[in-house]
């Protein structure tokens, strides 16, 4: 790519780009223009100016659509306000939500304690491979709307279009669902139903307000939310060990693996295990969120690898250990587990274990944490949805107005779209709410599997492109610890999970086959295929994939000098190798 490829920018031969801006109130930082307030204006004038569009130089019209889209996502004027501590907590606590606190109750009832542990270990290993692959891509190419950008660049545009819209629908739908879930969670304290709409409005305003503060507001909120969730899980692990050893107020004596023998380790045999595979995946949804924030991270090369590595600790400590303790403390025949369709603490196996031990007061504390977890998911949905809208517009898949980013780095039109969909939460007052929300959930049911599978394919294609273009992995600041084989492993497990879900959707446990049951579980696939075929028919481009030698693996890099980068990577490796073994082990995992 030559320096003349775009107007208002300069570039080295490797494709790293530095852009100019027409905004007079901006300063340059790491090649990116950052808006600063004018001290001569009043605070109100600066506030109003902050909402005005951030103007970038127009791209060269002679560029191909693919080149224009790649450059647009690379130079997106989103603010780089996320620090290492934000990414660490987003990585550690970003996916700890109702899937773990409440969804694990239904999983325990259907699959039994052994089924839960096996499902979560397999899903955790799959997600670990996905996050490693995504970490490598995000560190190398920290572009806006990363999932869609990678799929369109490393596979082909139609597939990227389908995956992006599926992900966007998931975010737009999940946000109002989580707001309603938060309002229902409050009912644990016997709040009158007539106040339900008031809580919906309150939580809606809270989530929207957080995101109007920009990426810094999102980062600080998730930092606080994640700390609370992590402390809750750590506290439960300590308490659970005490209870398993017989230290509870009820003094039942040593419990150990009692419930693994009676009523048993598996509730419905192999089919029960297959049925909870998607439930376990749902509990990990949001793990990939750290990569979506790559374009808004101060130092992605330093911070993103650490965030990607933290997934191992989250899987091991927070999921496997806590769920093992749950399996020891709560039998899958417990009557309270059959309320697992609820979102309040009565359906949570964590609360059931505490109540059965005779401990008072703590269930309300856990319910507060569940409420925070629900709001955290809603907060992440509006963040992710607005960035996906921005990326779709940059690729020409939405009108240009949706690419509006103000001088504070907020994708305002994308935020507005998410806010409009968030108003669906007020359907909670409708008598048709259960039916409407059931089908809304069906649209996003398998979204995570498609997102994760596409990431693994992108990683494989990225490595293939490096080899085909005579490049090596020595130029990568972070290489996936699981390598290409980890991505292959992830794809295999995802395919197995989809087969399991197809089987259970067609022949549900304890029920008869029906079209409603099947499509409520598999509607996401129909959505993906619909968008894929629509794009193919519209563009008349029947290419299944872009050839490896033609893939763009440079646009979006922040490192201008790759030779200097390689030298820095060698020096870092030599430094780590010179340190004691405990430090080398620490750096490998953290």
Q: What is the DSSP string of 117-150?
A: HHHHHHHHHHHHHHHHHHHHHHHH---TTHHHHH
- DSSP assignment of 376-392, as one string? HHHHHHHHHHHHHHHHH
370: confidence class by pLDDT, cuts 50, 70, 90: confident
Q: Are 297 and 82 in contact (CB under 8 A)?
A: yes
Q: Are 576 and 583 in contact (CB under 8 A)?
A: yes
436-484 per-position pLDDT tens digit: 777 777 777 788 889 899 999 999 999 999 999 988 888 888 888 889 9
What pLDDT does 6 receive? 36
Of 89 and 109, more confident:
109
Looking at the domain that runs over 76-559, which CATH code has it been given?
1.20.1740.10
What pLDDT does 180 receive? 80
66: confidence class by pLDDT, cuts 50, 70, 90: low
What pLDDT does 36 receive? 54
Instruction: Summarize the confidence of residues 391-404 as an average pLDDT.
Output: 85
Picking from 275, 225, 249, the residue whose alpha carbon sits closest to that of residue 86 is 225
pTM of the model: 0.84
Q: For the chain, report the end-to-end CA distance as a whole number of angstroms.
A: 36
Of 279 and 263, more confident:
263
Question: Which of 317-331, 410-424, 576-590 is predicted least confidently?
Answer: 576-590
Of 181 and 130, more confident:
130
CA 259 to chain centre: 34
283-295 per-position pLDDT tens digit: 887 777 777 776 6
Range ranked top by mean pLDDT from 284-288, 396-400, 511-515: 396-400
Say yes or no to pLDDT of 9 above 50: no
Residue 248 CB contacts under 8 Å (≥ 6 apart), including other chains:
242, 357, 358, 359
174: confidence class by pLDDT, cuts 50, 70, 90: confident
Q: Are 422 and 204 in contact (CB under 8 A)?
A: yes
Adjacent-strand bridge partners of 26: 35
Furthest-apart CA atoms within the chain: distance in Å: 77
Say yes or no to pLDDT of 3 above 70: no
238: confidence class by pLDDT, cuts 50, 70, 90: very high
Of 42 and 520, more confident:
520
Q: Which SS3 state, helix, strand or coil, does residue 297 take?
A: strand
34 backbone dihedrals φ, ψ, rounded to 5°: -120, 125
Adjacent-strand bridge partners of 56: 21
Say yes or no to pLDDT of 64 above 70: no
What pLDDT does 12 receive? 40
């Amino acid at each position: 790519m030559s320096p003349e490829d775009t107007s208002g920018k300069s570039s080295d031969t490797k494709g790293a780009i530095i852009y100019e801006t027409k905004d007079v109130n901006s300063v340059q930082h790491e090649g990116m223009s950052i808006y600063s307030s004018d001290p001569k204006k009043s605070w109100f004038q600066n506030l109003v100016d902050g909402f005005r569009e951030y103007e970038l130089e127009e791209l060269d019209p002679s560029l191909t659509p693919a080149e224009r889209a790649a450059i647009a996502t690379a130079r997106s004027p989103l603010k780089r306000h996320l620090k290492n501590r934000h990414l660490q907590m987003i990585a550690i606590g970003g996916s700890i939500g109702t899937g773990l606190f409440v969804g694990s109750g239904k999983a325990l009832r259907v699959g039994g304690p052994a089924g839960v542990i096996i499902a979560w270990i397999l899903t955790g290993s799959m997600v670990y491979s996905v996050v490693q692959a995504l970490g490598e891509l995000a560190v190398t190419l920290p572009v806006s709307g990363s999932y869609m950008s990678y799929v369109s660049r490393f596979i082909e545009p139609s597939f990227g279009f389908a995956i992006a819209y599926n992900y966007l629908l998931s975010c737009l739908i999940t946000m109002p669902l989580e707001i309603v879930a938060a309002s229902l969670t409050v009912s644990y304290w016997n709040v009158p139903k007539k106040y339900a709409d008031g809580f919906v409005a309150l939580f809606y305003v809270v989530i929207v307000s957080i995101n109007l503060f920009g990426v810094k507001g999102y980062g600080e909120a998730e930092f606080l939310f994640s700390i609370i969730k992590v402390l809750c899980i750590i506290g439960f692990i300590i308490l659970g060990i005490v209870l398993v050893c017989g230290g509870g107020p009820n003094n039942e004596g040593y419990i150990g693996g009692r419930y693994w023998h009676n009523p048993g380790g598996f509730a419905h045999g192999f089919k029960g295990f297959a049925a909870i595979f998607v439930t376990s995946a749902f509990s990990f949804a949001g793990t990939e969120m750290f990569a979506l924030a790559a374009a808004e991270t101060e130092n992605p090369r330093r911070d993103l690898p650490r965030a990607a590595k933290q997934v191992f600790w989250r899987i091991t400590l927070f999921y496997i250990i806590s769920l093992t303790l749950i399996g020891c403390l709560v039998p899958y025949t417990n009557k309270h587990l059959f309320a697992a369709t609820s979102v309040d603490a009565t359906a949570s196996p964590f609360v059931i274990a505490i109540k059965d031990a005779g401990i008072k007061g703590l269930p309300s504390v856990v319910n507060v944490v569940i409420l925070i977890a629900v709001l955290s998911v809603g907060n992440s949905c509006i963040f992710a949805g607005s960035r996906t809208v921005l990326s779709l517009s940059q690729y020409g898949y939405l009108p240009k107005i949706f690419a509006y980013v103000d001088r504070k780095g907020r994708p305002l039109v994308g935020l507005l779209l998410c806010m409009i969909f968030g108003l669906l939460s007020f359907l909670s007052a409708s008598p048709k709410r259960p039916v409407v929300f059931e089908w809304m959930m069906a649209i996003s049911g398998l979204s995570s599997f498609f997102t994760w599978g596409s990431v693994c394919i992108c990683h494989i294609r990225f490595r293939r492109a490096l080899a085909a273009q005579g490049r090596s992995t020595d130029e990568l600041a972070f290489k996936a610890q699981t390598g290409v084989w980890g991505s292959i492993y992830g794809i295999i497990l995802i395919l197995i999970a989809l087969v399991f879900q197809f089987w259970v959707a067609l022949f549900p446990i304890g029920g008869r086959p029906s079209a409603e049951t099947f499509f409520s579980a598999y509607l996401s696939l129909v959505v993906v295929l619909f968008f894929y075929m629509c794009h193919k028919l519209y563009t008349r481009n029947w290419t299944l994939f872009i050839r490896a030698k033609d893939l763009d693996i440079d646009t979006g890099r922040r490192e201008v000098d790759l030779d200097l980068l390689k030298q820095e990577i060698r020096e870092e490796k030599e430094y780590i190798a010179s340190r004691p073994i405990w430090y080398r082990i620490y750096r490998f995992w953290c």
